Homo-oligomer: A and B are copies of this chain.
Amino acid sequence: MYTIDQNSKTPLHIQLYEALKNDIVQNLKVGEKLPSIRKLSSTYNLSKNTVESAFRQLYVEGFIESYPKSGYFVSDTNFKDFRTSHANKEAIETTQKSYKYDFFPARLPKDSFPLKLWKRIYTKVIDETLDLGGYPDGQGEYILREQIAEYLNNSRGANCIADQIIVTSGFGESMGLLAKMLKSTHDTFAMEDPGYHIVNQVFSAYGYEIEKIGVDENGLMIDALQKSKAKLVYITPSHQYPKGVSMPIANRLKLLEWAKDTDALILEDDYDGELTYYNRPIPSLQGLDKNDKVVYFGTFSKYLSPALRVSYMVVPQHLLGLYKTHFDSHFCKVSLDTQITLAHFMKEGHFDKHIRKIRTLHKKKHELLKKLLEEHLGETMKIEAQGAGLAIIITPAVAFDWEKFKILAEQEGIKLYFAKGVSGGSWEALRLGFGGFSEKELYEAVEILSKLWRKALLN
């Protein structure tokens, strides 16, 4: 006898289904006949519909078979080890260390995001006019692309239209898309050395041969590039990653000339382009180019929030056809509501204001970190890069035990970031991010850091 509770919250047909299934698994044999619908209906005081519904589910899941005019039978399968209990799962012990201070070079302060304003705009613009039942435009919503194009033309000296913008969920996705698009026409990829390891990874994964081009005080060494066979080069002209130098106008023009003469393509990563503290931002290379030889890469992560996951690229017009025919996935990875809110945030002028605000904020912290480093470390260190971005980069000016320093930092709970790990080269330096710290925290963090640094000095 099955237990069917007429007063239970569980529907009757589900109670019967569970009871029958249990019986099949535990007791019945393959081919055995089940009680008829009429029988079950009268025994348990159930409607015929209820019993049929339970049988239908058992049938669909394959537990029973039905033969016309004969009834229902247990299917031919081995249920012996069905529904035996699983071991309870426990989370894998992840020893995620928590640090006292984290010098991550690419974060913004928690409270710098314009939350109230964002929510006000969100509430206003996310409404019934939006089609949340469909997929967003594969290239990104037009209204957002218009705003990005306008911003780039006005603030970054670019020269583009909405049609050239592709919205992505991050720099890595942008690079991956481009690597895929150019795979059939390019096989060698030149990049700065030291340079951004993520880019190396992406292009290596797509099978490109990587040519590393040195970097001097003017950025990428163009002479070396000219000697290479690459017709595709990645650069960070505004603020070279990780060395921090800017490429002067003469070299920018030379680079564009090279691209024109050799029919090459320049991938301009406008890394930290807006975050300059001693001068106005340097206009983009894209805007200087008259021959459609530059692909521009930008992001909102450093200026607004990395948690929104919005980046973009500007593709020259001659690549648009290729993109639209073969590489438009039709599914932009950025959610529609984020795209629309951001578009209106920009349209109402808030983004420009916000950039000015955070530039001032970061400049102050940058100055403080610099001052503290000079006070504490003095002659023992050399500042390699400063004046832009979210980090100051230093190297020891005297004999120094890097290994000891790294171990001490881990022991003290200070999370540090080094150039070697992210630039793929042999150049070692300490990248001290200040973006996430309050001023008070910066004082404390640098004090601890300095003690460890001094312990790692040799003799």
Contacts and interface: CB of A to CB of B under 8 A. Distances in A.
A57 B279 contact: yes
Given A56-B278, A60-B282, A250-B62, A128 B109 contact: no
Given A126-B119, A337-B307, A436-B134, A75 B250 contact: yes
A280 B334 CA distance: 33
A75 B250 CA distance: 8
Q: Give the number of copies in the complex.
A: 2
Contact of A127 (B115, B136, B163, B336): B115
Interface stretch (A225-233, A265-273, A316-324, A369-377): A316-324
Given A123-B123, A172-B329, A335 B317 contact: no
A435 B133 contact: yes
A357 to B, nearest CB: 14
Contacts of A84: 290
Given A127-B115, A317-B89, A246 B282 contact: no
A253 B75 CA distance: 12
A355 B109 CA distance: 38
B128 A115 contact: yes
A253 B78 contact: yes
A366 interface: no
A440 interface: no
A62 B290 contact: no
A181 interface: no
Interface stretch (A154-162, A184-192, A443-451): A154-162
Contacts of A159: 86, 89
Nearest to A120: B123
A71 to B, nearest CB: 18
Given A172-B329, A247-B62, A249-B61, A306 B134 contact: yes
A62 B113 contact: no
Given A119-B123, A335-B335, A63 B133 contact: no
B309 A337 contact: no
A133 B109 contact: yes
Contacts of A2: none
A14 B163 contact: no
A208 interface: no
A129 to B, nearest CB: 9
A290 B336 contact: no
A207 B288 CA distance: 40
Contacts of A112: 133
Contacts of A14: 280
Given A110-B134, A280-B57, A62 B305 contact: no
A315 to B, nearest CB: 11
Given A61-B282, A82-B253, A123-B123, A128 B111 contact: yes
Interface string A193-215: 00000000000000000000000
A127 B162 CA distance: 32
Interface string A250-289: 1111100000000000000000000010111011000010
Contact of A132 (B79, B250, B308, B324): B308
A76 interface: yes
A18 to B, nearest CB: 11
Given A92-B317, A163-B91, A169-B169, A135 B307 contact: yes
Interface in A58-93: 60-63, 75-79, 81-82, 84, 86, 89-92
Interface of A: 14, 17, 56-57, 60-63, 75-79, 81-82, 84, 86, 89-92, 94, 104, 107-113, 115, 119, 122-123, 126-128, 130-136, 159-164, 169-170, 172-173, 218, 246-254, 276, 278-280, 282-283, 288, 290, 301, 305-310, 317, 320-321, 324, 329, 331-338, 435-436
